[in-house]
Structure 1
Amino acid sequence: MCMVIVKTGEPLTLMGVREELVDRPWEGPGEYWPEYPGVVGGRDLKAGGTWLAVDRAKRTAAALLNGRGTPAPEQTKISRGDLPLRAVASGSLPDVDLTRYDPFHLLLATPEGTRLWSWDGVRLSEAVLPEGVSVIVNSGLDPDDPRTIAQAPRFAAAQDWHGLTADAPSSDPSALIIRHELPDGRVYASSSVTLLTLGMDGVGYEFEDFSGWRAIR
């Protein structure tokens, strides 16, 4: 996950745009983890984790974004994809050795609000998202990021967020839906979008892989 937009209120609304190398295998939302019963998310088939986990019974979601900073040592590094699973299970920042993870931002959302933990490989910080619309990108809650500048007002003004993802993929640094051709010939692009509503009466879960929105039951 490389961009998350959150709007506070009843219900809380969260959109997560996943960006990855297009040849990295994955599959859409399901209950793939027996050790986390009832938790749903898309699964990264290379490392086995997820970029966004949802527990409907707890009305809780956790989203993971790659961060910036000091990478973990290669000999002890583990995938960050277990962090959303652990977060929805515990309702907090997972009790793990953070030095084994590359930099990340981990968002935990409930109807009551959201918390964001940011690890740069050396220091951990925590923030509570303010009221209104917040945009989280690879640099975190960064008001100067081109995507924040461009997308925050769009999402704040829109009553229905579904249509915003119809943008053509672009290499523009402010784009919502991206596609970048890398020097080595690989392609890094938006691969899917998740739209959640977390309310006192339940969770709405929709998923888009650019073949049309579908509800996740």
Structure 2
Amino acid sequence: MCLILFAVQQHPDWPLIVAANRDEFHKRPTEPARLRKTSPSVLAGKDLQEGGTWMGIVPETLLFAALTNYRDPLSRKNPAPSRGHIVEQALGSAEDMEPFLKKLKKEGTNFNGFNLIFGTPEKLFYYSNQTEKSLVIPPGVHGLSNHLLGTPWPKVTKGCRLLDQAIKKGAEEEDFFLLLQDRSMPEDRELPDTGMGLEWERILAPLFIVHPLYGTRSSTTLKVHCSGEFFFTEISWDERGKETGRVRFTGQGKRPFMP
């Protein structure tokens, strides 16, 4: 994923709300989200080129994980294992998060730069192999793109503001999808310099990216209710930014959220 906006304990009924865009090359084959009969069962999309996924949830336990790449082309390793497998490993950790985090810190340097959010509504962690430090994410509205958590890139700052407004308006799914489709362009002076060159920094700057080669491939919303019920919806997009499909799942976790 290239943009994850999420709210922790910011609504009395929804302790976890996630609105995220996955940006990728259009030629990279992808399977939309579905329930995968792994152990435990996981609800997630799938990268058909390298395997792995970018975001998913274990319906039974409400264990959630999502990943963004850290954009630094000058330090890119080639070859390196696919970062999508990190999300698979997180979702397979069976809520035993501390040992998984210890293992990730040991093996994380094998991968190109990444950021990982994982945990349950009770306790979400953030880890990046660019800092090798982990933290428990506090209550609030947070944004993560292709730098460290909370880095104030224009799309992150605007996305957090729009998510906060949508939650206060009523936390409706369609409002989350509406903000994820924001295509407005920031001023050049606001753009980060990640070594991609100005043309690509402009292409990658909006919340929703439309380009013939690379763009927003899917948008996903996740709402976890305090009862343990969850709602997961994914929209797929083509290179013109047109919707090509939508899947929606609901489920009930094994326990309610306990603040």
Hey, what does 1:208 align to over in structure 2? 235
Q: TM-score if structure 2 supplies the norm length? A: 0.72
Following TM superposition, where does structure 1 have runs of at least 4 consecutive aligned residues deviating by more than 6 angstroms?
Answer: none
Give ranges in structure 1 of 5+ residues lacking alignment.
182-186
> Post-superposition shift, 1:112?
1.1
Asked whether 1:89 is paired with 2:92, we answer yes
Alpha carbons 2:159, 2:179 under 8 Å: kept: no
Unaligned runs of 5+ in 2: 186-201, 237-242, 251-259
1:21 — aligned with what? 25
The within-5 A match list for 1:65-80 is: 65-69=68-72, 70-72=75-77, 74=79, 77-80=80-83
Preserved contact between residue 220 and residue 232 of structure 2 (Cα < 8 Å): yes
Name the structure with the higher strand share: 1
In structure 2, the CA distance between the partners of 1:166 and 1:148, relative to structure 1 (3 Å rule), is: closer
Identical aligned pairs, as a percentage? 26
Q: Give distance in 1, aligned partners of 2:71 and 2:204.
A: 17
Aligned in 2, Cα 1:172/1:73: closer, same or farther, shift over 3 Å?
Answer: closer
Give the structure with the larger helix fraction: 2
Residue 202 of structure 2 is aligned to residue 163 of structure 1 = no
The amino acid across from 2:141 in the alignment is V
- Quote the RMSD (CA, aligned, Å): 2.3
Q: Look up the match of 2:146.
A: 138
Deviation for aligned residue 1:174: 4.5
Q: CA 1:130 to 1:23, structure 2 compared with 1: closer, same or farther past 3 Å?
A: same
Larger radius of gyration: 2
Matches of 2:26 and 2:78 in 1, distance apart?
A: 26
- Contact 1:31 1:37 survives alignment (8 Å): no
| Native 8 Å contact 1:7 1:134 kept in 2 | yes
Shift in alpha-carbon separation, 1:107–1:208, aligned structure 2, 3 A: same
Deviates more, 1:127-136 or 1:53-62: 127-136
Which of residues 112, 115, 118 is equivalent to 1:102? 112
Describe the shift of the 1:147–1:168 C-alpha distance in structure 2 as closer, same or farther (beyond 3 A).
Answer: closer
Q: Give how far 1:49 is off.
A: 0.8
Deviation at 1:193, TM superposition (A): 1.0
Residue identity opposite 1:163 in structure 2: L
CA spacing shift, 1:29–1:214, aligned 2, 3 Å: closer
1:175 and 2:178 are equivalent in the alignment: no
Deviation at 1:142, TM superposition (A): 3.3
CA distance change for structure 1 residues 30 and 213 in 2, over 3 Å: closer, same or farther? Answer: closer
Worse-matched range after superposition: 131-140 or 196-205: 196-205
Question: Matches of 2:109 and 2:78 in 1, distance apart?
Answer: 8
The CA deviation at 1:213 is 4.5
Q: Which residue number in structure 2 is paired with residue 6 of structure 1?
A: 6
Partner of 1:116: 126
Contact 1:43 1:50 in 2 (8 A): yes
Cα 1:99–1:72 change in 2 (3 A) is farther
Q: Aligned pairs, how many?
A: 207
Contact (CA 8 Å) 2:55, 2:87: kept in 1 or not? yes
The change in CA–CA distance for 1:66 and 1:166 in structure 2 (over 3 A counts) is closer
